[in-house]
Amino acid sequence: MDLNPAQRHPSTPEPRRSVVADCLVVVALIGGLFSLIGLGHEFNHPFQSKVDIDLSPWYLPYYTMLSFLRGAVAYVLSFAFTLVYARWAAYDRQAERFLIPLLDILQSMPLSAFLVPIELALVAIFPHNNIGIELSCIIVIFTGQVWNMTFSFYYSLKALPADFAFVGKLARFTPWQKFTQIELPFATKGMVYNSMVSVAGGWFFLSIIEAFTIGDQDYRVKGVGSYMSVAQEQKNGWAQFYAVVAVVIMVVAIDQLIWRPLIVWSNRFKIEDTEAEFQERSAVLRYFSRSWVVKWLNERFSSLIRRPVVAAAPTTLTVRQPSVFAKLYASIPWRPIFLIMAAVILGFGAYSLVKLLWAVTFSEWLNIMGCLLLTLIRVLTAIALSTLIAVPIGVWIGSNPKLSKYLMPLTQIAASFPSPLVFPNIVILIYLLHGNLQWGSVVLMMLGTIWYILFNVISGASAIPQDLRACTQLTHLKGWQKWRTLYLPGVFPALTTGWITAAGGAWNASIVSEYVQYQGKTETATGLGSLIQQATDKGQFSVLAAAVLSMAIFVVIFNRFVWKRLSAIAQERYQFLT
């Protein structure tokens, strides 16, 4: 892997600059600024008990822009959280014992576990305007994106080859230089693909987040998700079609303008000595590289992470006295302060939780345990079936860059399709085939699970070095032999990450796969997801807390004894080393 990928092709000619490209970049920056201003206006609107959503297609561009901005802000927060949290967990052994189980719990919690308390708390804090509702939408979208990305970066850091870290020590890299020139490049490819599936997961639950109701209270905000929800409530077929078209256009535009250039750029960080004959290209990346504005922004950004020239050792040793601020900062006992704050917060949370759990009867606990077992069976079945489908397809797409260019947008569209528009039609099909939701919910659960495995396998397959591919061709390996010696070991580290995040996605998707509303009817399957959703609808917070706590404890135990061991095997046996 190149520690400084910008110097991989020093002979590449300087691109011819274009004034048109500069104009487009400036227009895009100005458009983004005004879009943020528009979102700010939505924040300042007075709070209304019910927001009217106009189903005219002329309002859809504005609604789609608002939904995109909420997702974009949530992604920025997710990315910042990922870099801090994953690196902390990867390098602090003591903190890792607490941070990773906590991450297991958070990624497996159903959407309602975040949506209900966050919505109620923020609306209570901001009762006179939409700040609380808008912030709750962004935070809940954040919770749908961040865990997958954090796991990806964490496991990339754990799999970082020791010789890379040794090179950093030889070069006397500072922690910042090690972070920007070794750790981030090594994790870039996995982060890009996991970002794609994370953002797609946000669109998947968009209509639930933007059109949330609890009891008789309506917490709706303007957006394409609430547009879909109202269109479905009013059984307006044309409006539902317009919403689908808007989502497809948004997903394709994001893919071509953001993800595709990032995929091409991330190929610079592959660990290989021999480049593939076919090199992926991005017309958008190539065109905007001709802009002087982009060049200037790139130079300013690169100046923050560029490796400085090592200065000559001074002839005389000078000792700098610490400043007054440094002395004051060093004298503050930060660790005890943080421990006390954490203890107070956890103590208050534990007290509130015990008060809720005290009201749960023994028969309700037995019902929760039985529902947990049924949902576990569905989760494992969904993961197994998703693996059988996603691994061959993911290897096929990841190993064929030409196909990837055309198939990736289709997979993102499929992963982003909002659940309320898809699930009712699948439920109708299940009942037409004389099935029921008890087993049909596994099919629905797979729609929220398979994408985590697929995108991670695509990432793993595309990262297999060209050297290893050439070796299998020279040794004439074909069929199962090639799969056993190249593809399965090559994608196994990424596949374990996919399994971990898919398991969390499956538990999360249980609330919409075991409890489906369509055509004025409600179909349920016995399980923890439907129990949580029914408790949310009825306002039974004690049962809701007990169900979520049971799920959290079980997920931590299962991850500790199953997924963590598989991840350790992947790190020890299937690393790509230089």
Q: What would the two tokens of residue 506 be?
A: 């499956």
Give the Cα separation of 460 and 398 in Å (integer): 8
Determine contact, residues 459/494, Cβ cutoff 8 Å. yes
- Identify the pLDDT of residue 9: 47
Higher-confidence position of 17 and 381: 381
SS3 341: helix
Average pLDDT value over all residues in the chain: 77
pLDDT tens readout for residues 460-473: 888 777 777 777 77
Is pLDDT of 232 > 90? no
Give 12-74 as a DSSP string. PPPPPP-HHHHHHHHHHHHHHHHHHHHHHHHHHSBP-SS------GGGHHHHHHHHHHHHHHH
Q: What would the two tokens of residue 245 be?
A: 């078209």
- Identify the pLDDT of residue 387: 93
If we measure between CA atoms, which residue out of 213, 175, 223 comes closest to residue 60? 223
What is the Cα gyration radius of the chain?
A: 25
Between the two ends of the chain, the Cα-to-Cα distance in Å is 7
Determine contact, residues 191/262, Cβ cutoff 8 Å. no
Q: How many CB atoms lie within 10 A of CB 404?
A: 20
If we measure between CA atoms, which residue out of 60, 211, 226, 77 comes closest to residue 144? 77
pLDDT tens readout for residues 80-123: 999 989 988 888 888 888 888 888 778 777 666 677 777 777 77
- Give the β-pairing of 515-518 and 521-524: antiparallel
Banded pLDDT at 6 (limits 50, 70, 90): very low
- Identify the pLDDT of residue 17: 66
Adjacent-strand bridge partners of 219: 212
Contacts within 8 Å (CB) and 24+ apart, 114-118 = 114/139, 114/140, 114/143, 115/140, 115/208, 115/209, 115/212, 116/214, 116/536, 116/544
Is pLDDT of 266 > 60? yes
Q: What percent of the chain has pLDDT over 70?
A: 79
Give the Cα separation of 561 and 220 in Å (integer): 41
Q: How many CB atoms lie within 10 A of CB 578?
A: 11
- Identify the pLDDT of residue 385: 93
Give 69-106 as a DSSP string. HHHHHHHHHHHHHHHHHHHHHHH-HHHHHHHHHHHHHH
Give the Cα separation of 376 and 370 in Å (integer): 10
Is pLDDT of 3 > 50? no
If we measure between CA atoms, which residue out of 112, 119, 122 comes closest to residue 535? 112
- Identify the pLDDT of residue 7: 45
Higher-confidence position of 383 and 232: 383
Determine contact, residues 207/67, Cβ cutoff 8 Å. no
If we measure between CA atoms, which residue out of 487, 464, 498 comes closest to residue 566? 498
Dihedral of CA 153/159/162/164: which sign?
Answer: negative
Q: What is the average per-residue pLDDT within 216-240?
A: 79
pTM of the model: 0.74
DSSP 539: T
Question: What HEC string does 214-247 produce?
Answer: ECCEEEECCCHHHHHHHHHHCCCHHHHHHHHHHH
Q: What would the two tokens of residue 125 be?
A: 């804090």
Lowest mean pLDDT among 59-63, 116-120, 286-290, 431-435: 286-290
- Identify the pLDDT of residue 432: 81
Determine contact, residues 280/401, Cβ cutoff 8 Å. yes
pLDDT tens readout for residues 77-91: 999 999 989 988 888
- Identify the pLDDT of residue 113: 65
pLDDT tens readout for residues 160-204: 877 787 887 887 888 888 888 888 888 888 888 888 888 877 776
* Entry field: residues in the chain: 578
If we measure between CA atoms, which residue out of 185, 168, 186 comes closest to residue 177? 168
Higher-confidence position of 37 and 546: 546
CA angle 213, 216, 220 (to 5 degrees): 35
Q: Tell me how far CA of residue 71 lies from CA of 78, 90, 198, 234, 544, in angstroms.
A: 10, 27, 10, 26, 27
Adjacent-strand bridge partners of 212: 219
Angle between helices 450-462 and 488-513 (to 10 degrees): 160
- Identify the pLDDT of residue 10: 47
- Identify the pLDDT of residue 329: 61
Determine contact, residues 152/88, Cβ cutoff 8 Å. no
Q: What is the average per-residue pLDDT within 352-372?
A: 83
Q: How many CB atoms lie within 10 A of CB 34?
A: 11
Determine contact, residues 530/514, Cβ cutoff 8 Å. yes
Q: What is the average per-residue pLDDT within 387-415?
A: 82
- Identify the pLDDT of residue 214: 63
Is pLDDT of 496 > 90? no
